[in-house]
Chains A and B, each alone.
Chain A
Amino acid sequence: MFIKISYFYKIVNDFLSPVVKSKRAEIGGRIFLIHQFLIVLEKDLTMEPTNIKDPEYFHKVVDCQYACPAHTPVPEYIRLIAQEKYTEAYMVNWDSNVFPGVLGRTCDRPCEPACRRGRVEEEPVAICRLKRVAADNKGDVKQLMPQGPFKPNGKKVALIGAGPAALTLARDLAPLGYEIHLYDEQKLGGGFMRSQIPSFRLPETVLNEEVNFILDLGIHTHFNHYVKSLKEVLANQYDAVFVGTGAPKGRDLEIPGRKEADANIHIGINWLASVAFEHTSKIGENVIVLGGGNTAMDCCRTARRLGGEQVKVVVRSPFAEMKASPWEKEDAQHEDIPIIDNHVPKTFVVEGGVLKGMLFEKVQAVVENGKRKLVPTGEPDVLIEADDVLVAIGQENSFPWIERDAGVEFDQWNMPVVDEKTFCSSHPKVFFGGDAAWGPKNVITAVAHGHQAAISIDLMCRNEALTNRPSPYVNLVSQKMGLHEWAYESEVVTDNRYIVAQADKKVTLSNRKKEVELGYSLSEGFKEAQRCLNCDAQTVFTDDKCIECDACVDICPTACITFTTNADETTLRGQLKVPALNTGQDLYVSGPLKTQRVMVKDEDVCLHCGLCAERCPTSAWDMQKFFYNITKAHTGCL
């Protein structure tokens, strides 16, 4: 029986479902039994050879870089730190994440939970704090940055808000000759990095230095300038407008007593800003901080430094579910701040017009129908005394200055409609990024947004389609230098994660500006850097060189490699030397070998030690350094 191949695809599209057994299909006036074709399909469901020419395949193997919103080449800079090339390490960071000094202290570290090391032992590499080692020990980096004045290209861009997203955009576009106008209501740039992150976590000098690297590129700053109208901005003949105004509105808690006690109830983010700009320097002795996020942690620790003797964090949810990063919770507890969980605020207790404390209902988390609920325990309500309450229960976007008829469409939640790839709003000249685009995230996400919005603005100004985005810069180079020599340090050390030392609590609690973390010393930094598994040293397999001697299978310390008959992915995962259960990690599958088997490598716990390549008699395995860098507006177009 003949059937044209085009029919075959039609059948696949129309009828492929697991329940099909013997469905009849009419094609060209003839009846076909579908199960006959499923036999053909099963054969085709064996895994295709992995396409390692797709840059995303090896990118995904570099877990940290893949997890980083800005895709910072992490292993690359960690190696530079190990080589004491701090300046170069800083510049690798600066290119990708723009604020290495700031992020080396305050990043949310999406890279660390992703770190491969966390899958073979307890703790990931301290990627974030290594970044700080580069930032603290860098030499003269300014000479390595783009040097102005730049030849103007005649285009003007307005940036509203001087936070990380807008500053990133300024840095990417200024070297191309754009005239950048940066607006912010505060007297200095930095946005939330300045107003929300307390100085004991991020010294002002560090922030100022990195903000100034950008401002020194010839940015026209309009500080102390609150932008009241988007229409007004658009009327100023800007070629593009970027909105990076963050999520500036702290959520309030409307429960009884709120109004009466207003004088002693403060919205967390406003209060932090007021401390940062030195409008506030005192707080009562008894302080309650409401909320379980990182802002709550910053609030309570700041309160401890402004006179709060008894500072308590009170959270609705159980401790383990708090949004704050584990290390921030630890730091708060280290400063004698109890975190009281499972307490839902009921009322502010006011006596004689003065706040006395708060009443809480005790709850417990119960799972009902797969949903987690907080159910009252029935115990009597708890009174916690307080002179001041800081409310840090979330923040929201707010765009009172954007006229709703200015051409920017807003959705039902009063959020601008923004394209996820191009960051362009429904107005072709208005772009959004950072927290302003889709609500509060973090600094590194804002930086990533800034890079992408810069590319969009540059494409638009050159009259190119915004979808025509530049490919990443990719390179793959063999690391083999000799019989047992690789260009990278392939030895896998077993050291545990090194702890970052902190300054004496007595000193830090008495001085709001004294940085708590001391950072790694150079020798600690070196040792921590050695823990990196060099996931960018990729194991590259060449099918036709393999003689199937099994040397790689036998030597692999983590049993990643198996030679087996090909099958569909689920079956294949099950028939490996150790079944590959982590489906988040890919299988590297070769083409058919001489024995008709395929090589399958589970990328999950590969240590990148290079022993497969070292024991390979024919160099079918090779360790090749994979470098992947997101193209930015300034690198792509220069």
Chain B
Amino acid sequence: MTYIRPKFRHPELPKNKLGYTISYYEGALSTLCAGCGHDSISAGIVQAAYEMNIEPHKLAKLSGIGCSSKTPAYFLSNSHGFNSVHGRMPSVATGANMANRDLIYFGVSGDGDSASIGMGQFVHVIRRNLNMVYIVMNNGCYGLTKGQDSATADRGSKNKSGNVNLFQSIDLASLAIELGATFVAQSFSGDKTQLVPLIKAAMNHPGFAFINVISPCVTFNNNVGSTKSYDFVREHVEATATIDFVPMMSEIKAEYTEGDSKMVKLHDGTYLKLHKLSQEWDPLNRLSAMNAVHNAREKDEILTGLLYMDPDSGDLHEMIQTSDRPLNTLTEKELCPGPEVLKNINADLR
């Protein structure tokens, strides 16, 4: 067995604002199959966290069960982690987020974990606009159990043994838009230049940010006839826009610049710079986003990039008006303020 990652790193690795090199955000060595798209997504997450200058202890990664849900072991070793029950990651994330609103919640799930066993939890966490990033590493098959078709396998797609899928697929991105998700994007594991800015924007979004990432399963779903293979996705990918996450900058005054470029101002003064490729699409308009996704599907294209976002989204804490201080920092003194306060409350109810 020689599968051991050396400790040496490039001596000239740049440092981010916190003084960490990217290696500080790495995780353990992956045990997924060689060439798995999930590993690229993990690397994208590492890069995004490094570039966003995130303090690793300010982030919690959560997952369910599956190949995708193993990946939190392979990135951000210095962050909090919770590997939960199959399809139940959203409820664990909700609980954690309720208790401590100060962390960045990073949920990682797969097509089985989200579109089958966890569908109920998935749709409800969207409804609640929980402030988290929710990445689905979507490979259209159950890679951990020898590659059976999953609920996101496209109708007509051929699996490794030559069987054609007869059932309609669940399109998680349009479902998320339909249910009112406030940030929806789609990407491809083989395109980090698009994926990394999307992850950065998602982490910055104050609400539920969903990224459906097509991530080929090299072992069971990278064959000819599959619609989730490296070759097929590369041939059919169509991007909404090239995307760039622009950190806080003062010189931009207008929200819109000329031509096909669009600067979307985010809640904290950062910008999302989009060079639009698709003309009849407005990322701030839900109907337009929905149309863009459906039009692409008609043409057998896979639309990637940012699909829809509501920059003024208010998350669950805002909706239910919880305390600004994280609940887990409230002491008995604040939580049990005594009979005097109770008396006042009761008086109000009279």
Contacts and interface: CB of A to CB of B under 8 A. Distances in A.
Interface of A: 119-121, 484-486, 489-492, 494, 547-551, 553-555, 557-560, 578-579, 581, 594-595, 605, 607, 609-611, 614-618
Contact of A617 (B7, B29, B190, B218): B218
B35 A607 contact: no
A437 B43 CA distance: 56
A493 to B, nearest CB: 9
Contacts of A490: 2
A578 B10 CA distance: 8
Given A547-B231, A550-B192, A594-B234, A491 B4 contact: yes
B7 A494 contact: yes
A581 B8 contact: no
A595 B235 CA distance: 10
Which bucket holds chain B's interface residue count? 20 to 34
B35 A581 contact: no
25 contacts: A121-B8, A484-B3, A485-B2, A489-B2, A490-B2, A491-B2, A491-B4, A549-B189, A549-B230, A550-B39, A550-B43, A551-B40, A554-B39, A554-B40, A554-B43, A558-B10, A559-B10, A560-B10, A581-B12, A595-B234, A607-B6, A607-B8, A610-B2, A611-B5, A614-B2
A490 B3 CA distance: 9
A605 B234 contact: no
A547 B35 CA distance: 9
A605 B11 contact: yes
A557 B6 contact: yes
Which of A486, A490, A611, A616 has its CB near the most chain B CB atoms (within 10 A)?
A: A611
Given A484-B2, A490-B2, A491-B2, A554 B42 contact: yes
B1 A609 contact: no
Contacts of B211: none
Nearest to A617: B35
Given A120-B11, A484-B1, A547-B230, A615 B35 contact: yes
A120 B13 CA distance: 12
A560 B36 CA distance: 20
Nearest to B219: A617
Interface of B: 1-14, 29-30, 33-37, 39-40, 42-43, 189-190, 192, 216, 218, 222, 230-231, 234
Contacts of A610: 2
Contacts of B2: 484-486, 489-491, 610, 614
Nearest to A602: B10
B34 A617 contact: yes
Given A549-B218, A550-B40, A605 B6 contact: no
A-B complex: 7 closest residue pairs judged by Cβ atoms: A617-B35, A492-B6, A554-B43, A484-B3, A617-B218, A550-B40, A549-B35
Contacts of A605: 8, 10-11
Nearest to B230: A547
Nearest to A616: B34
B331 to A, nearest CB: 44
A617 B192 CA distance: 19
B247 to A, nearest CB: 20
Contact of B8 (A485, A557, A594): A557
Contacts of B13: 559, 578
B43 A548 contact: no
A464 B190 CA distance: 57
B5 A550 contact: no
A553 B47 CA distance: 12
Contacts of A491: 2, 4, 6
A120 B8 contact: yes
A549 B190 contact: yes
Contacts of A119: 11
A554 B6 CA distance: 14
Contact of A551 (B4, B6, B35): B35
Contacts of B34: 551, 614-617
A492 B8 contact: yes
Which of B7, B37, B192 has its CB near the most chain A CB atoms (within 10 A)?
A: B7
Which of A119, A494, A547 has its CB near the most chain B CB atoms (within 10 A)?
A: A547
Given A492-B4, A549-B190, A550-B39, 5 more contacts: A549-B36, A551-B34, A557-B6, A609-B5, A615-B34
A478 to B, nearest CB: 15
B6 A549 contact: no
A621 to B, nearest CB: 10
Nearest to B235: A594
A558 B218 CA distance: 25
